[in-house]
């Protein structure tokens, strides 16, 4: 059984030799020890030597979805990159009232974001690639919020509680984190989210940028819940 990886330049930089063992993951729950079988200008052929893990996504006890407002001053690529490395299950680009990037402009970047996701998975050995959704409006997301067992809404209101306390009772199921734009969610959006069942959480005294807030929450959830 063989697996072809179309990234010859990266292997050349690493000076990979024929017969050398390489660890890979397929983004669908499989992790393997492989042996370099052939190196060509067009790619590299790996022969599977040992299967380390073969897991189905539905077998995961906890699934984390990040719905993040599309930022103006930071790159959504960084959020996708770090989310992939941290094993996030789903990423939703979120259009809020204060989002300044137009849907049609962002949609043209989806191909690049998927390439970033694949590269991050190769580097980190992530078991699964996140499911990168099309941009979704805040109101449309609230319509499907019932599909999640827990929804967290970091915000600057007086109804924000400690993140650890909010997550403590959660043991399994789907968890949604909604990250707001520069300037936070509007008062209307916060109220609607609370009415839909979201729990407001605080990320400390500092006002974090969108990408920093997203990465901080994802990192905490993966470390704490696992």
pLDDT at 148 over 90: yes
Q: Among 11-20, 36-45, 108-117, where is mean pLDDT lowest?
A: 11-20
**200 vs 25, more confident:** 200
41 φ, ψ to 5°? -70, -25
Q: Across residues 181-200, what is the average pLDDT?
A: 94
pLDDT digits (tens, 9 = 90+) for 161-184: 899 999 999 999 999 999 999 889
Predicted pLDDT at 139: 97
DSSP 59: G
For every residue of 112-177, DSSP letters joined together read HHHHHHHHHHHHHT-SB--EEPPPEEHHHHHHTGGG-SEEEEE-SSTT-EEHHHHHTT--SEEEEE
Q: Across residues 102-110, what is the average pLDDT?
A: 91
Predicted pLDDT at 151: 97
Tokens representing 66 are: 């990040």
Q: How far is CA 38 from CA 17, 18, 42, 43, 47, in A?
A: 9, 6, 11, 8, 9
What rounded mean pLDDT belongs to the chain?
Answer: 84
From-to residues of CATH 3.40.1280.10 in the chain: 58-225
pLDDT digits (tens, 9 = 90+) for 58-105: 577 899 999 999 998 678 999 999 999 999 999 999 999 999 898 999
pLDDT digits (tens, 9 = 90+) for 17-28: 777 766 666 656
**45 vs 98, more confident:** 98
d(CA 161, CA 204): 10
> Considering the chain, what percentage of its residues have pLDDT values greater than 70?
80
Q: How far is CA 86 from CA 16, 69, 140, 217, in A?
A: 27, 19, 26, 11
Tokens representing 201 are: 């959480």
From-to residues of CATH 2.40.240.20 in the chain: 2-55
Fold of the CATH domain 2-55: Ribosomal Protein L25; Chain P (2.40.240)
Any idea what the Cα angle at residue 149 is, between residues 145 and 151, rounded to 5°? 55
Fold of the CATH domain 58-225: Alpha/beta knot (3.40.1280)
């Amino acid at each position: 059984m063989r697996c072809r990886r179309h990234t010859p330049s990266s292997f050349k930089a690493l000076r990979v030799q024929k017969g050398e063992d390489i660890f890979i993951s397929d983004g669908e729950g499989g992790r393997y020890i492989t042996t370099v079988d052939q190196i060509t200008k067009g790619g590299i052929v790996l022969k599977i030597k040992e299967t380390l893990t073969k897991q189905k996504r539905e077998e995961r006890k906890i699934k984390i979805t990040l719905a993040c407002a599309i930022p103006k001053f930071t790159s959504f690529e960084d959020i996708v990159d770090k989310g992939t490395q941290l094993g996030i299950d789903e990423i939703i680009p979120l259009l809020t009232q204060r989002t300044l990037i137009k849907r049609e402009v962002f949609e043209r970047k989806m191909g690049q974001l998927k390439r970033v996701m694949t590269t991050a998975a190769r580097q980190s050995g992530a078991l699964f690639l996140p499911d990168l959704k099309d941009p979704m409006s805040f109101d449309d997301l609230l319509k499907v919020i019932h599909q999640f067992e827990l929804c967290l809404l970091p915000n600057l209101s007086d109804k924000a509680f400690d993140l650890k306390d909010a997550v403590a009772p959660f043991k399994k199921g789907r968890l949604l984190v909604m990250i707001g734009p520069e300037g936070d969610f509007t008062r209307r959006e916060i109220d609607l989210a609370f009415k839909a069942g979201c729990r407001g959480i605080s990320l400390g005294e500092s006002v974090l940028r969108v990408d920093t807030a997203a990465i901080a929450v994802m990192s905490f959830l993966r470390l704490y819940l696992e």
